Structure 1
């Protein structure tokens, strides 16, 4: 996945590390665009219109991604792979001759098979890390583990409590060049994900190009949104919502988050430094 992972496990059973590594290897084998023989890479090379059976886990992520695309009016789009490559954030370097409106609508699922209806490609970079955290958590519970904190690339899930009977306290990473209040949360059967423009970006003509692509314009989002943090029962959904809100921006994004009763925070770059937005749900949790 191009990132690191960690797990703090209270009273880990024998074989715990091996079990976690097996889960991550399985997800990479299915959903990594950087592995040419992964399921997603093979799917993206299929002839348009050809059906392909997909594994249960990949089907879960694809279905969730398509539902998130519907909820966000396409701000989150799991079929944005061509644009990701075009702007230098994917494994490919190809140009896009024609931007296809709403790429996600060109993906069709029928049971446990899927196909492309146009020359679009899947990219799960805005949702797969969150799913992987959930999958590791599920595996730990199956091994009988009750208390743990799992992190992949800054997306976290905490269950139970620490050995000192404290909750899993997490300080949300702030954009390194901005001064914002520290957001500290207790992850007790809860997940958190943050999307930020300071993690992955490219400089072009002295401008910062965010890795977050707006499917509506086919280009990186306008500079301004520094970070979005979302708390959710599922890390996969926290990950996807953070991506969608980042693309939508402070007005549309936070209104949608409020409408869906999400606990979310957005940090916006301004001429004066930074402006913080917070949904009523998150404000109530911190009160």
Structure 2
């Protein structure tokens, strides 16, 4: 079985409300995780809501077909196969995601970097599968030479990608799900839906409300006990995404090693923090920032978030037998 199919959901939806507002709730397996779409509100029949949800699922499937590194026929796989030979033309969706990733890489000082694929594969978290032994320092050093946005040339006008060094590879896993969620929400809006939630393995975007008197309430999972909620947050017309060391990990010499790798050092993050949750205006931003702040760590992560407009966050740290949560002002409990 492929490990990427068994990502533990980092956020639970809490559907307690004052009234059932004609909720339609559907789930499909897409992008290596369970994707849940819920539509609420009056003015639409159950059939109409179900049809709108179906179109949103198809849009996510379309994005998966473009951006998945696990699909050998995807657009990003084509880029990885041929961009070190010639410029590869990509779709509007792909160039939009790459542009956003480039912007976030710059403002995070490289803590988020889509050229991280050589390191992801080296540590056994990519399509090539699990490794048995920790990589050697020489292997990490060689992979690091291939990491960095300096190693790719992007022509936004022509929508082309060209690798400047042989062996460079892209991995959009830290941003693709967020973008797919955004696209699903736009599809629902185009169908006239005003109240909905899309949840792709913990990358969540909510519009409107779940009922006339209640916002969508999201429960954030305890990093060590998947059925326990450590905090809740109300969401309306915005997104939230969580990255954690519990989603996918390995052990080397008794040390838990997260699938989240620091592009600057070549080493996976371990122990601190346990999870990072980010609220933003769109899910693509929340998704990428959650990874970047996890890489930056608690102190630098909170300092970074304090300087970024319209983005809030919560970092959960494990200390012996307890957890401590650190929040930006906009994420603090009311």
User: When the two structures are superposed, what TM-score results if normalisation uses the length of structure 1?
Assistant: 0.93
Deviation at 1:177, TM superposition (A): 4.8
Q: Secondary structure at the match of 2:243?
A: strand
Deviation at 1:115, TM superposition (A): 1.3
Partner residue, 1:54: 90
Deviation at 1:143, TM superposition (A): 0.7
Kept in 1, the 8 Å contact 2:101–2:113? The answer is: yes
Partner residue, 2:106: 70
Moved more, 86-95 or 122-131: 86-95
Q: Which residue, out of 14, 30, 52, partners 2:66? A: 30
CA distance in 2, matches of 1:117, 1:64: 20
Kept in 2, the 8 Å contact 1:258–1:281? The answer is: no
1:1-287 to 2 correspondences below 5 Å = 1-10=31-40, 11=44, 13=48, 15-48=51-84, 50-92=86-128, 96=139, 97-100=142-145, 102-110=147-155, 111=157, 112-118=159-165, 119-177=167-225, 182-261=230-309, 262-271=311-320, 273-283=322-332, 286-287=333-334
Deviation at 1:101, TM superposition (A): 6.5
Higher relative contact order (CA 8 A, sep 6+): 2
CA distance in 2, matches of 1:185, 1:213: 28
Q: Secondary structure at the match of 2:222?
A: coil
CA distance in 2, matches of 1:46, 1:246: 32
CA distance in 2, matches of 1:106, 1:140: 37
Listed as ranges, the gaps of 5+ residues in structure 1 are none
Kept in 1, the 8 Å contact 2:36–2:199? The answer is: yes
CA distance in 1, matches of 2:33, 2:147: 29
Q: Secondary structure at the match of 1:239?
A: helix
CA distance in 2, matches of 1:99, 1:78: 13
CA distance in 2, matches of 1:226, 1:273: 11
1:266 and 1:85, CA in 2 relative to 1: closer, same or farther beyond 3 A?
same
Q: Secondary structure at the match of 2:230?
A: coil
Q: Secondary structure at the match of 2:37?
A: strand
Q: Secondary structure at the match of 1:224?
A: coil
Q: Secondary structure at the match of 1:61?
A: helix
Kept in 1, the 8 Å contact 2:205–2:283? The answer is: yes
CA distance in 2, matches of 1:36, 1:174: 35
Kept in 1, the 8 Å contact 2:313–2:328? The answer is: yes
Moved more, 195-204 or 243-252: 195-204
Moved more, 11-20 or 157-166: 11-20
Listed as ranges, the gaps of 5+ residues in structure 2 are 1-30
Q: Secondary structure at the match of 1:215?
A: coil
Aligned length: 284
Deviation at 1:226, TM superposition (A): 0.1
CA distance in 1, matches of 2:204, 2:282: 10
CA distance in 2, matches of 1:72, 1:162: 34
Deviation at 1:99, TM superposition (A): 2.0
